[in-house]
Chain A
Amino acid sequence: MKLSTVAWHAGVLAVLAIVLYPIVWVVAATFKPSADIIGSLSLLPSAPTTANYERAVEGIASISIGRFFWNSTILAVLSVVGTVASSALAGYAFARLRFRGRGAMFALMISTLLLPFHVLIIPQYAVFQRLGLIDTYVPLLIGKFLAAEAFFVFLMVQFMRTIPQELDESAKMDGAGHWGIFWHIILPLARPALITTAIFTFIWSWNDFFGPLVYLSTPDKYPLPLALQLFVDEASGSDFGALMAMSMLALVPVILFFLFFQRFLVEGVSTSGLKG
């Protein structure tokens, strides 16, 4: 290896070490006795213990952590199903079909890309309250089934436009209708876009705090981020170890997704500019 290459690796690793220090520190911290966590800079626990994780698993307010994991999983899985299905349908219409008003609707869709959701949350809340849907998952999920996340519609459109038009034409010759073309030709070829959408939707739903904070009030229904906040409020400072351990457990699915799908994630960002 050339000297300049060695120097480059050393330089990159040095910067990377600074960036990743907080993660390494906190992972080590969760294996230290609760009282030692704050003041200790070391990356190796002197007397490793799993006590923090044992207390974290017990949960909060007599609800086990498994319950919160289950809630988060339900929300994330339904979000993925809804978003992938509705965005793919909308993407196909925008990318492949010609109909009156398409241009105007496409422009409308693009203009909602950067719309701050705060403008919508209050009237949405008022409506869901009137329908008796507060403290249910409906307000959190309905938008996913109605392609409300314009980023993913846009991603689908961009991807489906690159699929050769001749494939549609020849299927049409063979007598396939729009549904047949969509189902048998476009969807299989759009798999990378579908996977990217699914992964990002899962992670965003998993991390979402604002939506559950606004709509949910029964701790039994809380997903993990809200449960963590409850933990912060209830145990403020008293059981730091368990709080850290629970924070780390909440990140495990995201980290697994990252490890398995990092190619899709990084490619998704570099081609469509998805926010992280």
Chain B
Amino acid sequence: MATVAPTRRAEAPGQPAGPRTRVRRSGDGVAGYLFLSPWILGILLLTIGPMLTSLYLSFTDYSLFTAPEWVGLDNYKRMFEDARWLKSVQVTTIYVAVAVPVKLAAALAVALLLNNKRKGQGFYRAAFYGPSLIGASVSLAIVWKALFTDDAVVDRALRVVGIHTGGWAGNPDFSLLMLVLLGAWQLGAPMVIFLAGLKQVPVELHEAAHVDGAGRWRRFRSITLPMISPVVFFNLLLETINSFQVFTSAYIVGGPNGSPAGTTLFYTIYLYDRGFSDFRMGYASAMAWMLLLGVGLITLFLFRTARGWVYYSGDKR
């Protein structure tokens, strides 16, 4: 570093000429914008621009091949009379409401199981995490469907214990549950985060409570859970938002119509179908904004309730 010629300072980007005190006050100026220029281009061209455009398109009739035609709130009104839209809202809501708690409960259970000082924890943690990397892939969706078709592994295993459901992939009563299980199978990512949270819980608290005669369950309820509540909240928020956007697995399992009988017609799949099969892009844009509104309201709601149950200790150690 010492070999850099002193004259370089004058050429360095964002270093306006003048006394040093002036440089300090005006910060790094141009250099900041230069380093940030790819991101600035991206946020303008790929995020803000498209967002505003899609808001405009949502008030139009637009099929990609003709100019958008202003229709006011028609698209939004039509949604509430569109049986498939209502179905997709129902499917997605049920999925989020069931899949998120199931996945988080499984993740927390495994994290509690792994949380101790024994050897091998690192190995197990990685092994449980593995499925998270492949769970949302096309490959795994194909495998999952194979496990749940008629006369396949799950069907046969259930028949042994006297449950006759047929393959879940073709049974409207169970097709969504099969996708819930695929979601829960990817418990590794939230589990790793839970485990990081559990490591922060002071052992002394547990010891003190133990001395006072608190049982395992009592200590979990009164010490562990409040202490890891920020991590619970973080996982809840992340998984909720991600679950609203499930696409690949559902598309491979149920196709663009959400078969069987529309039971896997996720919101994102219907949006894709309207936008890119029918090219009803005005309507699809309105759907996208309703999704944003819905996810935004739920996020807000989660943050509101968080005040009541998320406990931030002043000292995080």
Contact = CB atoms under 8 A, between A and B. Distances in A.
A81 interface: no
A118 B248 contact: no
Interface residues of A, number: 101
Nearest to B29: A99
A177 B35 contact: no
B201 interface: no
Contacts of A248: 139
Nearest to A176: B4
A180 B8 contact: yes
Given A9-B120, A16-B128, A247-B138, A122 B57 contact: yes
| Dominant SS among interface residues on chain A | helix
B306 interface: no
Contacts of A116: 241, 244-245, 288, 291-292, 295
B42 interface: yes
B191 to A, nearest CB: 9
Interface string B190-211: 0011011000000000000000
A95 to B, nearest CB: 10
| Dominant SS among interface residues on chain B | helix
Contacts of A25: 147, 153
Interface in B74-116: 110, 113-114, 116
Interface in A77-105: 85-86, 89-90, 92-94, 97-100, 102, 105
A262 interface: yes
B271 interface: yes
A85 B6 CA distance: 28
B71 interface: no
Given A12-B114, A99-B32, A147-B39, A112 B47 contact: yes
Given A25-B147, A114-B241, A228 B46 contact: no
B73 interface: no
Contacts of A138: none
Interface in B27-54: 27-33, 35-43, 45-47, 49-51, 53-54
Contacts of A147: 38-39, 42
A133 to B, nearest CB: 13
B142 A244 contact: yes
Interface stretch (A47-55, A190-198, A206-214): A206-214
B137 interface: yes
B195 A97 contact: no
Nearest to A207: B137
Contacts of B9: 175, 177
A183 to B, nearest CB: 11
A132 B156 CA distance: 51
Nearest to A267: B192
Contacts of A31: none
B39 A177 contact: no
B290 to A, nearest CB: 10
A171 interface: yes
A46 interface: no
Given A118-B288, A177-B11, A276 B132 contact: yes
Contacts of B161: none
Interface in A234-276: 240, 243-244, 247-248, 250-251, 254-255, 257-258, 262-263, 265-266, 269-271, 273-276
Contacts of B187: 19
A123 B55 CA distance: 10
A97 B31 CA distance: 8
Contacts of A86: 38-39, 42
B53 A119 contact: no
A254 B268 contact: no
Nearest to B110: A15
A98 B8 contact: no
A209 B247 contact: yes
Nearest to A262: B126
B35 A178 contact: yes
Given A16-B127, A262-B126, A271-B196, A89 B135 contact: no
A258 B133 contact: yes
Given A90-B35, A116-B244, 9 more contacts: A19-B131, A105-B36, A178-B14, A224-B138, A229-B251, A244-B143, A258-B130, A265-B129, A276-B132
Interface of A: 5, 8-9, 11-12, 15-16, 19-20, 22-23, 25-26, 29, 37-39, 41, 85-86, 89-90, 92-94, 97-100, 102, 105, 108-109, 112, 114-127, 129, 142-143, 145-148, 153, 171, 174-180, 182, 184-185, 203, 207, 209-210, 213-214, 224-226, 228-229, 232, 240, 243-244, 247-248, 250-251, 254-255, 257-258, 262-263, 265-266, 269-271, 273-276
25 contacts: A12-B124, A41-B153, A89-B35, A93-B31, A93-B35, A97-B14, A99-B27, A116-B291, A129-B64, A146-B45, A148-B47, A180-B1, A203-B133, A207-B134, A209-B137, A228-B138, A229-B251, A262-B130, A263-B126, A269-B193, A270-B196, A271-B196, A275-B189, A275-B238, A276-B186
